[in-house]
Amino acid sequence: MTLRSYVVTRILLTIPAILLLLSMVFLIMRVLPGDPVALHFEKKATPEAMEAMRRTLGLDKPLLVQYFEYLTGIADINYFIKFGYPNLGKSMQDFSDVGEQIFAAFPATLELAIYSMLVAVGIGILLGVRSSQSYNSPLDHLIRGFGTVTYATPVFLLGMIFQLIFGVYLHWLPIGLRISPRVNPPVGLNIGGVRIATGLYTIDSLLEGNIFKFVESSKCLFLPSLTLGLILCGIFIRLTRTNMLETLRLDFITAAKARGLKKTTVVYGYELRNAFLPILTMMGMQFAILLGGAILTETTFSWPGIGRYIVDRINFRDYTAIQGAIVIFGLLITLVSLVVDILYAYLDPRIRL
């Protein structure tokens, strides 16, 4: 199978997966206990007012009609072209645009995911390589134990410990902020009246040329990304160590050592390079999970991302908002998985056989 055929096949396979995701989210939200109309009025409205609100929200229609209206709205191409995001409906609590709310919160989640992944991969790969090079030594056992402990530690517990140490006692780093209240959020680069911004405060600060804002936003981002990165680094420690030990036994590594190449060249240029494909797959999977699973971290640090948004909407049984957030999570995970599969097939032709 050629790479083009493989890519087309993978794209076609994602379509039923996305449709199944949309259907499951819709059905699960409808069978969960709780009435969004009652919560909207805090159970103090008359039956007539509640029935009028139910008609306004479309909850009086048959379930099948609601389902097809839900799918039709998401598939509205004109809406997507006009606003830049799919039609996810209106919030059942304040009637605001769900898509606008989600995509306003998404940059915060994306920024946290990127820096958390950098921490996890950086620490995990370096310690995994070091562990494989000191196989069965006290250092090897120490590194493996560190990876196990960090992975088993609840993210909220580690986050609160860091907040107490670095925020409350030492006063080194801020907690519960995305940027210091002393400065305005960065707005990016302005070229000829056109604003170029990513929504990522660290990147927009650099585009703006404001180093002070970059430092302030980095300080606020440090503890959440360090917490989430340390929790995930254990996965990469174990995976890197295992694959490095398997690669170490191969003939071309022995030949490289016999030629007298430097140890760093053999370790990083031969062993790690050939052990990197499974690590790359795990990076893609974990990054996708980070985009959809940083809820506890965002809640612990009051980080204004999608995870915190979803928790707030769950408290009100806001079907539309919860559906929209979960759908976006699912689409992101599907997209990242597709990209990783294509990249994997490009790097390793055996996958396409």
Q: Look at residue 142 and tell me whether its pLDDT is greater than 90.
A: yes
**Top-confidence range, 38-52, 70-84, 111-125:** 111-125
Lowest-pLDDT range of 53-67, 103-117, 124-138, 214-228: 53-67
Q: Look at residue 352 and tell me whether its pLDDT is greater than 80.
A: no
Lowest-pLDDT range of 129-133, 156-160, 212-216, 290-294: 290-294
**Mean pLDDT computed over 258-277:** 77
pTM more than 0.85:
no
- CATH superfamily, region 98-315: MetI-like (1.10.3720.10)
Amino acid at 62: P
Amino acid at 287: F
Amino acid at 226: L
Q: In angstroms, what CA-CA distances link 5 with 12, 18, 124, 338, 352? A: 11, 20, 35, 14, 9
For residues 225-245, b (16+ Cβ closer than 10 Å) or e, as one string?
A: bbbbbbbbbbbbbbbbbebbb
d(CA 101, CA 175): 23
Q: Are 254 and 267 in contact, with CB atoms under 8 Å apart?
A: no
The overall average pLDDT reported for the chain is 82
Give the per-residue pLDDT at 292. 62
Q: Which two tokens stand for residue 68?
A: 């097809």
Q: Which two tokens stand for residue 65?
A: 């009609």
Q: How many CB atoms lie within 10 A of CB 3?
A: 13
Give the per-residue pLDDT at 149. 92
**Mean pLDDT computed over 115-121:** 92
Band of residue 42 on the pLDDT scale cut at 50, 70, 90:
low
Band of residue 68 on the pLDDT scale cut at 50, 70, 90:
confident
Residue boundaries of the structural domains of the chain = 98-315
Q: Look at residue 53 and tell me whether its pLDDT is greater than 60.
A: yes
d(CA 150, CA 154): 8
Phi/psi for 134 (5° steps) reads: -115, 50
Give the per-residue pLDDT at 43. 58
**Top-confidence range, 39-53, 63-77, 273-287, 314-328:** 63-77
Give the per-residue pLDDT at 146. 92
Band of residue 162 on the pLDDT scale cut at 50, 70, 90:
very high
What would the DSSP string read from start to end of 174-230? --S-SS-TTSPPP--EEETTEEE--S-HHHHHHHHT-HHHHHHHHHHHHHHHHHHHH
**Mean pLDDT computed over 209-222:** 90
Sequence-ordered list of residues with C-beta below 8 angstroms from that of 89, at least 6 positions apart, any chain: 70, 73, 98, 320, 323, 324
What would the DSSP string read from start to end of 275-317? THHHHHHHHHHHHHHHHHH-HHHHHHTT--SHHHHHHHHHHTT
Lowest-pLDDT range of 160-169, 204-213, 271-280, 287-296: 287-296
Q: Which two tokens stand for residue 218?
A: 């980095």
- For residues 40 and 287, the model is more confident at 287
pLDDT tens across 293-349, in order? Answer: 577 788 888 888 888 888 888 777 777 888 888 888 878 878 877 887 777 777 666
Band of residue 222 on the pLDDT scale cut at 50, 70, 90:
very high
